[in-house]
Amino acid sequence: MLIHDLKRTCSKCDGSSFQAGYDEWGSIQTNLQKLCPACSGKGYIFTELGKNLWKLYRPMIQELIREELEKKEAVQK
Ligand SMILES: [Zn+2]
């Protein structure tokens, strides 16, 4: 599986994370460096496969983080 199967470069901002085409929409001041609304400034968008994998792995990752935090707390006491 390739990373490309999970996410792809945002076509709206072409991966720049910022809203393009400010000259079409209005003044430069108001729209310059506005985060791209399509990808929320990430520059990429998850594919359906990426979204599903994230849903699958997120609980496991959260569990790992929780365990690590508990270990740290145990050391401090
Ligand atoms: Zn974008």
Q: Are residues 39 and 69 in the same domain?
A: no
Q: Do the Cβ atoms of 8 and 45 come closer than 8 Å?
A: yes
Q: Are residues 37 and 57 in the same domain?
A: no
Please give the residue range of the domain that contains residue 67.
Answer: 48-77
Ligand 1 centroid–CA 45 distance in Å is 8
Ligand 1 centroid–CA 44 distance in Å is 6
Phi, psi angle pair for 21, to nearest 5°: 75, 35
Dig out the tokens for 12 from the structure: 């709206």
Whether pLDDT at 64 is above 70: yes
Determine the residue type at 77. Answer: K
Q: Are residues 33 and 54 in the same domain?
A: no
Task: Provide the β-strand partners of residue 18.
Answer: 35
All residues at 6 or more sequence positions from 30 whose CB lies less than 8 Å from its CB, including other chains? 22
Q: Are residues 60 and 38 in the same domain?
A: no
Q: Are residues 25 and 55 in the same domain?
A: no
Q: Are residues 54 and 37 in the same domain?
A: no
Give the pLDDT confidence score for residue 4 in this predicted structure.
81
Confidence of residue 48 (pLDDT cuts 50, 70, 90): very high
User: What is the count of structural domains for the chain?
Assistant: 2
pLDDT tens sequence across 25-44: 555 555 556 888 899 999 99
Q: Are residues 3 and 21 in the same domain?
A: yes
Ligand 1 centroid–CA 62 distance in Å is 27
- Distance in angstroms (rounded) separating the CA atoms of residues 61 and 6: 18
